[in-house]
Each structure stands twice: as structure tokens, then as C-alpha cells.
Amino acid sequence: MLRGIALLFLLGWAAAATYQVSGETLYEARAPLGAFRGVNPTLEGQVVFEPTKGFLQGRVCLDLSAWDSKEPLRDRHTREMFQVDRYPRACLNIQGFDPGQSLVQGTLSLHGVERKVAVPVRYTLEQGGQTLRFEAEFELLLSDYGLKAPSFMGMRVQDRVVVRVKGQGVAR
């Protein structure tokens, strides 16, 4: 009997897969003269995922010096805002997944501040579970992380920024 229970436990754990994650993050910000965006292709990390059980754990990080808005001065202001010499990365420590609402739960560490987050995500498993593709979109308040929005010629970027993440994980 105990062997049977142990085998079921191990089979359940075996269904979980470890994924090496990569992707990109896009921000969209607004200022009095319009909206602008930047992209960062450095998303990387590792997660263990078993969607039917709602099991998700891992860590994904982003190099904050790699933002590209196609405007060098804006990118310099972004790096200054993040203080990349002191806080070079933003990381999401993933602690769970709510399959009913498709929410990734975790702690976002940004600019030396850690905050609990629940991020809606869309995902697909492809090639028999060997590839995980995902997309997420959420709003972030810069002030929640002690960040002062950049300004240029007296016009300040709004505190609320839309963040979009797109990536994939490859089973290891």
C-alpha cells in the first residue's frame, strides 16, 4: 500500500517539468506629450511548472540596463531612474499559480523593494509539454518601488506604467 502511494506521489511530481525561460519585456509609459515604449530582451530564469496541480515555482530576472526605446536620452533617463549601478536587475520570485484565474503569484523585487504580486498570464504547452509559451500584461506604479518617474523639460512621465512580458520555456 505504501509503495502505491509513494509511486502516485512520484508520478505526480514527474509530471512537473523544469523550464529554462527566456523572453522579452516591454513597457509603455505616458507623458503629457504622448506615449512611448521600450523593450528589453534579457528576461531569463528557471521555473518548475505543473499546471493541472497549480504548481509553479522559480525565478525570472531582467537586466535593467538593457532597455531600448530607440531614443538614447530616454534610455539613459530610464537607467538613471532604476539606478542600475546599485540595482542592476528586477526579479520575480514565483511562489504559485492559480489555474482557475490563470494568475502567477510571487514577489517582485525592483529597486531594492519587494512586493507581492499576482500577474495574469496566458500560456500554452507545445510539443508534448517540452515548450512553454507565455504572455502577461500588468500595470505597475513606479512609486510602489520607490522610483521617481523621469521628467524632461518639466514634463514628468506618469507613475502608472503598462508592462508586457512574452517568452518561452524549454524543458530541461
Task: Just give the CATH number of 16-171.
Answer: 2.40.128.110
Side-chain-side CA neighbours of 119 within 13 Å: the count stands at: 28
Question: Tens-digit pLDDT profile for the chain (172 aa)?
Answer: 434 333 334 344 446 899 999 999 999 999 887 888 999 999 999 999 998 888 999 999 999 999 999 999 989 999 999 999 999 999 999 999 999 899 999 999 999 999 999 999 999 999 999 999 999 999 999 999 999 988 776 778 899 999 999 999 999 9
**What region, left, alpha or beta, does residue 138 occupy, with left being phi > 0 and alpha being psi -120 to 50 degrees?**
beta
pTM for the model stands at: 0.87
Task: State the Cα–Cα distance between residues 62 and 123, nearest whole angstrom.
Answer: 20
Backbone angles phi, psi at 96, to 5 degrees: 175, 175
pLDDT for 31 equals 86
Backbone angles phi, psi at 105, to 5 degrees: -115, 140
Domain boundaries, the chain: 16-171
